[in-house]
Chain A
C-alpha cells in the first residue's frame, strides 16, 4: 500500500515537472516579441542600405537609427549632430520604419533646453517615406534671424552652424493591450524607427 502511494507521488512530481518544461519551451518558441523584434531589425537593416545610397554624391559620415515607442503623451527625442568646417551636409531620411501615427521633425541651432534657439527646418507628417535635404538653407535662415536681431553683418557673415539639434516629435496615442497565448494581459507597445544618414560634400 505504501509503495502505491510513493509511486503516485513520484508520478505526480514528474508530470508537473514535464508540464512546466513544456510551458517554458512553448514560451521560448513562440515569444512573439522576440520574433517581432528580429523581423523589425531585419526590415530596418534594408532601409538603412537605401538611406545610405541616397547620400550620393555626398560622402558618408554617420548614421543614426532612432527607435521610439508611442506613449499616451507627446514627447521629443533629440539628436545632436556636429558639423565641421563650412562643409555642406546632406541629411537623408528613411522613415519607412514608422508604421503608426506620423511624426514631426524640427531642426534647431540649440538644444531643447535653450529658449534662444532658432527653428531652421521643419517637416510635418513624417512616415513611410524617403527624403533628403541639405544644410545650406538652414545656415541662410540662421543668418537672417541674426541680422533681424540687429547683430553686426560683419559677424553674421562669418557665421556657420557648428551643431544642429534634430527633434523628433512623437505624437500621443491611446494605449492598447492584448491578451497573449498564456491568457496574460500585456501592454501593446507601438513602436517606430526613423533612420538618418549624414553625408558631407567632399570637394
Chain B
C-alpha cells in the first residue's frame, strides 16, 4: 500500500512538470551580441567563404533548338527519341533524363513548325512528368488544351513553350527540386548535342560543328550540377564520368589546345577529323542514355 502511495505521488509530480512546461511565456525579442570574432578567425576560416550550394542557369531547350536551326540543322523525326519508349524508363534517373530528352525533341519540333509531332511530344512529357512529380506544371494554365487550340500559330506555340518552361522553373524552385532539374537539363543537353552531331556526320556542316564546340561549355556546368546532387548513386557517377570523358576528349583536341586559356572565350571551328571524333562520342553517349 505504501509503495502504491509513493508511486502515485511520483506520477503527480511528473504530470505537474509536464503540464507546467506547456505554459510558455509570450514571445519577446531581445538582441544578443555574441563574442567578437577575431580577425584571425575570420581570415583563417570563414571570411568571404563561398557558399557550397551550386546554382546555375542553363540555356533553355527552346534557345538551343532555335540556334541549331539557324545554323542549318534540318528536321528529321528519326533523330528524335521514339515516343513509345516512354514506358521503358523505370528508374527516377532514367525518367528525369528522358524528360529532358523529350523537352528537347519538343523544342526541336516546334522551331521546325512540326506541330503534330510537337503535340505528341508534349503529351509524352505530361506522362513522364507525372512519374517524376512534375504533373502540376501541365495542369496549370491548361497548357495541352491551349497548345492544341493554337496549333499552326507559331508565335502562340512558342509562347506556350515559354510558359511551360516558366511553370517548370517555378515548380522546381518552389518545391526544392533543383536536383531533378539538373538531371533533365542534362538529358536536354545530350539530345540537343545528338541532333547537331548527327547533322555534322551527314553533312560536315561547319556552322553546326561550331555549335558543338560551344555546347561543351555547358557540359562543364552540368558536371558540376550533377556532382552537387544530394543523393548520389552509381548511375549518376557513371553519367558524370561519361560527360567528363567527352569534355576531356574536347579539351585535348589540337584546335582547342592551340588557343590555350583564350579557348574559354572563342567559338572554335574544329577540323573535320575532330568534328567526326566528337560527333561519334556524342552519339555514343546519347544511345547509352535512351536505351
Q: Is the CB–CB distance between A12 and B22 below 8 Å? A: no
Q: Is the CB–CB distance between B59 and A84 below 8 Å? A: yes
- A41 contacts the other chain (CB 8 A): yes
* A66 touches which of B15, B55, B267 (Cβ 8 Å): B55
Q: Is the CB–CB distance between B67 and A162 below 8 Å? A: no
Q: Is the CB–CB distance between B11 and A13 below 8 Å? A: yes
Given contacts A45-B174, A64-B55, A142-B265, contact A177 B24 (CB under 8 A): no
- A141 contacts the other chain (CB 8 A): no
A80: B residues at CB distance < 8 A: 54-57, 221, 224
Given contacts A16-B15, A176-B31, contact A163 B221 (CB under 8 A): yes
A155 CA to B165 CA, complexed, in Å: 36
A151 CA to B262 CA, complexed, in Å: 9
Chain B nearest Cβ from A145, distance in angstroms: 11
Given contacts A74-B47, A78-B50, A78-B55, contact A60 B15 (CB under 8 A): no
- B77 contacts the other chain (CB 8 A): no
Chain A nearest Cβ from B99, distance in angstroms: 17
Within residues 226 to 265 of chain B, which ones have a CB less than 8 A from any CB in chain A?
Answer: 259, 261-262, 264-265
Q: Is the CB–CB distance between B57 and A162 below 8 Å? A: no
- B78 contacts the other chain (CB 8 A): no
A46 CA to B173 CA, complexed, in Å: 14
A179: B residues at CB distance < 8 A: 25, 27-30
Q: Which of B32-40, B121-129, B194-202, B273-281 contacts A (4 or more CB under 8 A)?
A: B32-40
Contact residues of A: prevailing secondary structure: mixed
A85: B residues at CB distance < 8 A: 67, 214
* A9 touches which of B8, B28, B49, B266 (Cβ 8 Å): B8
Q: Is the CB–CB distance between A62 and B53 below 8 Å? A: no
A87: B residues at CB distance < 8 A: 63
Q: Is the CB–CB distance between B58 and A82 below 8 Å? A: yes
A12 CA to B12 CA, complexed, in Å: 7
Chain B nearest Cβ from A170, distance in angstroms: 8
A178: B residues at CB distance < 8 A: 27-30
B259: A residues at CB distance < 8 A: 155
B interface bracket (residues with beta carbon within 8 Å of A): 35 or more
Chain A residue nearest to B32 (CB atoms) is A177
- Tell me the count of chain A residues lying within 8 A, CB to CB, of chain B: 74
Per-residue A-contact encoding for B1-37, CB less than 8 Å = 1, 0 else? 1001101100110110011011011111111111001
Q: Is the CB–CB distance between A73 and B37 below 8 Å? A: yes
Per-residue A-contact encoding for B35-78, CB less than 8 Å = 1, 0 else? 00100001000111111011111111001101100000000000
Chain B nearest Cβ from A45, distance in angstroms: 7
- B148 contacts the other chain (CB 8 A): no
Given contacts A82-B58, A85-B67, A178-B30, contact A73 B47 (CB under 8 A): yes
Chain B nearest Cβ from A161, distance in angstroms: 7
A5 CA to B64 CA, complexed, in Å: 79
Q: Is the CB–CB distance between B22 and A23 below 8 Å? A: yes
B57: A residues at CB distance < 8 A: 61-64, 79-82, 196, 198
Chain B nearest Cβ from A7, distance in angstroms: 11
A39 CA to B55 CA, complexed, in Å: 24
A68 CA to B50 CA, complexed, in Å: 12
Chain A residue nearest to B4 (CB atoms) is A5
Given contacts A5-B4, A62-B169, A176-B31, contact A79 B55 (CB under 8 A): yes
* A12 touches which of B11, B28, B67, B162 (Cβ 8 Å): B11
B25: A residues at CB distance < 8 A: 179, 181, 183
Chain B residue nearest to A24 (CB atoms) is B22
Given contacts A75-B49, A75-B51, A76-B51, contact A59 B162 (CB under 8 A): yes
20 pairs, CB–CB < 8 Å, chain A vs chain B = A13-B11, A59-B63, A60-B162, A60-B166, A61-B60, A62-B58, A63-B173, A64-B55, A74-B48, A76-B49, A77-B53, A81-B57, A84-B59, A109-B265, A110-B264, A142-B265, A158-B265, A176-B32, A179-B25, A198-B57
Chain B contact residues, CB within 8 Å of chain A: 1, 4-5, 7-8, 11-12, 14-15, 18-19, 21-22, 24-34, 37, 42, 46-51, 53-60, 63-64, 66-67, 162, 165-166, 169-170, 173-174, 214-215, 217-218, 221, 224, 259, 261-262, 264-267
